[in-house]
Structure 1
Amino acid sequence: MNEYYIIKESALRDFTENVFRSMGCSDKHSTLAADVLLKADLRGIDSHGVARLTGYVRLWEKGRVNAKPDIKIVHETPSTATIDGDAGLGLVVAPFAMKIAIEKAKNAGSGWIAIKNSNHFGIAGYHALMAVEQDMIGFAVTNASPLVAPTFSTERMLGTNPICYAFPAGKYPPFITDMATSTAANGKLEIAQRKGTDVPTGWIQDKNGNTTTNPHGLKEGGSLLPLGSDREHGSHKGFGLSATVDILSAVLSGASYGPWAPPFVAFINPLPDQPGQGLGHFLGAMRVDGFRPVDEFKSHMDNWIDRFKQATPINPDQRVVIPGEPEYEAEIERRKNGIPLIDVVVNDLNEVAEKFGIEKLN
């Protein structure tokens, strides 16, 4: 049985910043990287929060993360740009890119940025919400470690490749769709592994293509399944979405794509003959007032949300949930009461603290 610790946001933030500083990151980058991870934990997306911190440390130890990157634009038009992340933390590279997308949108109506030579960028929602803060529509996608088999295959060819759209509203919090294009994100498997529980049918297939509920199935040669699970339930749609993310993030930017995407696991080296550099992202910002006045849009977003919240439920005790609503509610609660961390994660983090000689989490 796992034990949970409740850690104050401020304590967890200080701890995370200290780890990044110990890796050699600047104060500015340490603060930003910690903010991206804490945003995931605050919003209840525990699979992409500080539980991932040890993974970044291991990649840095292997020389696959550059703690002091020279992030720069290598190609540019008035509304687009391609950025070389110099193997930096995706937690730092992606916000840098989104700021450029926003500035381009202010001048051209929209801004679109392709990024190569980066690493795992945390939750896509963090970056998309940066645009929402400017009364813009935010878009964020990234390719990832190849863990997902395309429909009719057993070979890992694609990442969980999330897609995120974020829209500003008026009286309501932003509408935000942030989802993996696989049936489940790999982080969900990691949570099940730590808890010692099975995963639902349809998440994983074994090395022979048979469905399995074993959360360790990937370690035994299996693969994650595309959104839809199998062809009869629409996995070709998930495959198509994931492929689209891979092409926008990596083929367009010059990052490595498909099975060549660098793994997040430090002890697995990237495949030889890389066609590109590092992981890739694709970010966008669109001015709402490029289409209609912002106040009008927000009013109609509120009306949209109102009507969908009133949709007749199957079960009177189960309300219709608007995308982004559970995360917004979680953030309010966790900022007030603290962030729950499973004991396995706390132990891993404290091992890192001991390695760097920084104060442990209590």
Structure 2
Amino acid sequence: MGCSAEHAALAADVLLKSDLRGIDSHGVARLSGYVRLWEKQRINPTPNIRVVHETATTATVDGDAGLGLVVAPFAMQVAMAKAETYGSGWVAIKNSNHFGIAGYHALMAVEKDMIGFAMTNASPLVAPTFANERMLGTNPMCYAFPAGKYPPVIVDMATSAAANGKLEIAQRLGKPVPEGWIQDANGNYTTDPHALKTGGSLLPLGSDREHGSHKGFGLSATVDILSGVLSGANYGPWVPPFVAFMEPSANPPGQGIGHFVGAMRVDGFRPVDEFKDNLDNWIARFKAAQTVDPDQKVIIPGEPELAAELDRQVNGIPLVQAVIDDLNLLAVRFGIERL
């Protein structure tokens, strides 16, 4: 696409990390989407990513329409540098694109004994509570905490009932989705994974008001305001769509997609070893919690992804045929070796 070797390697690393961690919706399956956006001149392969506003502990980064896979790590480096000096660093990002899994960026801070935060707004696919109009993205948020003898605790989740990528997986497999994930154009529950194509919308975390969808709406709104309103990016229904066949809004209030990242030094609060010891104790106690089914154990946030990563590092990353076909089409397009 014309990216520098450094940017291409970093973008590939973000995508592969997603596949390694079992988040197949955000790995190489997304590659064709980035290419289509580039072909539409909505991704700049040679961006001038820069800080456009800052204080000692905060900054705003302009991604210059670059790959979010590259822009977000740049911003996290800024946040960590500020945290190194002042204890914490917070960076809002505008004029970016889809940034892959939030966990990749938050984990950068964990490697330096910091608590990492990463979130992003996204294409409007989610209807707020009581609505059937798409107003918000799946708007993921991630919090990552360094532990001692245990792996980091990583809370990485969409604020919708399900991530759009899970619909895409169901579409590729030809399977229905659970009730409560999506509604049709009339606001009725449906299990059709293609319902978004006929005017449907994803639902907030909680699915409906009686099951707490207003809380999912509130979390999503928080991500949208921090990522979009605070940074100067687009927000709400004006966030540009990830799919190339849908054009961005004619009169957007901001620039591109927005992210928000942060880093806090653990030793800004207490000695790192003490924190890690206590977090290890927290993890151990929760893993030992009495469960309804004796054969089922409490799962610590981040454990399933780590298990997938350990397995896939040994046994490889499984690819469904639809993804293989997409990658082979890209190989033909760019004149590189087919799978």
2:274 is aligned with 1:321: no
Distance (whole Å) between structure 2 residues aligned to residue 316 and residue 45 of structure 1: 28
AA in 2 matched with 1:243: A
Q: Which residue is 1:25 aligned to?
A: 3
- Picking from 28, 43, 53, the partner of 2:21 is 43
Partner of residue 254, structure 2: 276
SS state at 1:292 partner: coil
SS across alignment from 2:221? helix
Instruction: State the AA in 1 paired with 2:227.
Output: S
Which residue of the partner structure matches residue 19 of structure 1? Answer: none
- Aligned partner of 2:273 among 290, 295, 299: 295
Q: Give every structure 1 segment of 4 or more consecutive aligned residues whose post-TM-superposition deviation is greater than 2 Å.
A: none
Partner of 1:150: 128
The answer to whether the aligner puts 1:332 opposite 2:332 as a matched pair is no
Structure number with greater CO (CA < 8 Å, separation at least 6) is 1
SS in structure 2 opposite 1:153? coil
The whole-number CA distance in structure 1 between the counterparts of 2:171 and 2:96 is 27
Give 1:216-235 correspondences, 5 Å limit: 216-235=194-213
CA deviation vs aligned residue, 1:275-329 (integer Å, no higher than 9, x gap): 0000000000000000000000000010000000000111111111100011111
Q: Which residue of 1 aligns with 2:48?
A: 70
Identity of matched residues, %: 77
Distance 2:292 2:328 in 1: 45
- 2:218 is equivalent to residue 240 of structure 1: yes
Of 80, 93, 97, the residue aligned with 2:75 is: 97
Partner secondary structure for residue 73 of structure 1: strand
Partner Cα distance (2:238, 2:69) in 1? 21
CA separation in 1, counterparts of 2:297 and 2:171?
A: 30
* Per-residue CA distance 1:220-260 (angstroms, 9 max, x = gap): 10000000000111100000100110000000000000000
- Residue 87 of structure 1 is matched in structure 2 by 65
| Pick aligned residue for 1:202 from 180, 194, 204 | 180
Q: Deviations over 1:142-182 (max 9, x none)?
A: 00000000001000000000010000000011000000000
Q: Matched residues in 2 for 1:227 and 1:334: separation? A: 29
Deviation for aligned residue 1:130 = 0.1
Query: Structure 2 unaligned runs (5+)?
Result: none
Q: What is the alpha-carbon distance in structure 2 between the residues aligned to residue 211 and residue 188 of structure 1?
A: 17
Q: Which of 20, 34, 39 pairs up with 1:61?
A: 39
Q: Matched residue of 1:341: which SS?
A: coil
Aligned to 2:263, which of 270, 274, 285?
285
Deviation at 1:30, TM superposition (A): 0.5
Instruction: Report what 1:358 is aligned to.
Output: 336
Partner SS state of residue 315, structure 1: coil
SS in 1 for 2:179: coil
Using the alignment, how far apart are the partners of 1:244 and 1:189 within structure 2?
24
Q: Which residue matches 1:52?
A: 30
Structure 1: tracts of 5 or more residues without a match:
1-22
| Equivalent in 131, 146, 160 of residue 109 of structure 2 | 131
Aligned residue-pair number: 339
- Over aligned residue pairs, what C-alpha RMSD do you find? 0.4
